[in-house]
Structure formats: C-alpha cells, structure tokens
C-alpha cells in the first residue's frame, strides 16, 4: 500500500513542478532585447534624422556642451549617456571596449563616432578621469579595442548587465532624462 501511494504521488509532484516551472519562466513576457527587459526606459532611442557631421570639431562641440551635466556620473554611466545623447541626435555612434586599456589590466569603454564620409573618430567622455589629452584622443590605446557594440543593449548583454550604465535611474541622470523627454515631446507638437 505504501508503494502504491508513492507511485500515485510521484506523477502529481512532477506535474506540479512542471506547472511551477512554466510560471517561473513566463514571469516577464517582455522580449529579451526590449528596453523593459534590459532595464532601460521605454523609447530609450528615439528615431531621428542623421546628423550632418563632417569633422571632429562638430563632434567636440556637441560633446563639450553635455560634459558638464555628467560630472556626477561614473565613467560607464557617462559613456552610456554620451552614446544615448548623440545617437538620439542622429550621430552614428557605438561603444568600444578594451579588456586591458593601456595595458593596465582594467577594462574601459569609450565611443566611436562615424562621420558621413565614413571616417571613425574616437570620443572619450571621461577624458579628464582617464588622463587623455582631449575629449577626442588620438593616442594608441584608443585604437586598440577588443569589442565594438552598436548600442547599450549589446553592450550590457556582453559586459554583465545594465546596472553599471544606468545613468537615468536617479539624481542628475533622472533629471536629464525627464528634461530630454519633455523637449522631445515639445518638438513633436
């Protein structure tokens, strides 16, 4: 009798475990690459026309104008903010990452901006913190990188998650996010 009860309970336990497993995996129904699943705000990237960039001077002008707003950001958050800001204004921008930046054994992320002629320019949002000579460094360590990522979603998937880049979550970043969203809505009217 004991064995017969065990054999009846075993299939029921398996069914319960399968149902529980299905509910666990169905918890977040967002597609894995959606902004919501990645931890970014809705409409993180807004469609815009291509920026008409010919020279580093134009990129420097844009980048220099937003740097003061990012003083409280970490190096990773600053790179993510600059990428978001420039991409939402039509720049062709991507992330570059080195596993051992300047042979230090430490990883680092900066940006690559392509102009309409197809030339790639290096943009270092954290040039002061990294000891670079300018916001558009030309030194050899910025030419050596192992990875290039087209957007924050590729970057965060490959480098351990969104948290280290989440400039929009609090303080100054949240204020910048809200201001930009209000400006975008105003421009759409």
pLDDT digits over 13-22, tens only? 455 544 444 4
**CB-CB contact of 125 with 165 (8 Å):** no
pLDDT digits over 79-109, tens only? 999 999 999 888 899 999 999 999 999 999 9
SS3 of residue 78 by DSSP: helix
For position 185, what pLDDT does the model report? Answer: 62
HSE-CB of 119 using CA atoms within 13 angstroms: 10
Domains and CATH numbers, the chain: 53-188 (3.30.460)
For residue 186, give the DSSP letter.
H
Q: Cα–Cα distance between 146 and 139 in angstroms, integer?
A: 16
Return the higher-pLDDT residue of 77 and 38: 77
pLDDT digits over 128-143, tens only? 999 999 999 999 999 9
User: Of 145, 107, 101, 116, which is closest to residue 49 (Cα–Cα)?
Assistant: 116
HSE-CB of 91 using CA atoms within 13 angstroms: 29
Task: State what percent of residues in the chain have pLDDT above 70.
Answer: 74
Length of the chain: 189
Q: Cα–Cα distance between 29 and 21 in angstroms, integer?
A: 14
Question: To the nearest 10°, the Cα dihedral for 81, 84, 89, 91?
Answer: 100
Q: Which of 31-35, 44-48, 63-67, 81-85 has the highest mean pLDDT?
A: 81-85
């Amino acid at each position: 009798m004991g064995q017969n009860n065990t054999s009846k309970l075993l299939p029921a336990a398996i069914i319960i475990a399968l149902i529980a497993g299905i509910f666990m995996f169905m918890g977040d129904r967002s597609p894995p690459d959606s902004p919501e699943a990645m931890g970014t705000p809705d409409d993180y990237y807004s469609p815009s026309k291509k920026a008409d960039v010919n020279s580093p001077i134009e990129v420097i002008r844009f980048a220099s104008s937003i740097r003061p707003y990012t003083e409280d950001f970490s190096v990773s958050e600053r790179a993510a903010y600059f990428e978001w800001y420039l991409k939402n204004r039509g720049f062709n921008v991507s992330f570059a990452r080195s596993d051992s930046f300047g042979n230090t054994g430490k990883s680092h992320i900066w940006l690559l901006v392509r102009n309409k002629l197809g030339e790639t320019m290096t943009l270092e949002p954290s040039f002061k913190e990294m000891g670079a000579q300018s916001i558009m460094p030309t030194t050899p360590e910025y030419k050596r990188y192992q990875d290039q990522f087209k957007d924050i979603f590729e970057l965060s998937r490959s480098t351990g998650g969104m948290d280290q880049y989440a400039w929009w979550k609090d303080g100054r970043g949240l204020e910048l996010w809200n201001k930009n969203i209000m400006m975008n809505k105003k421009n759409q009217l």
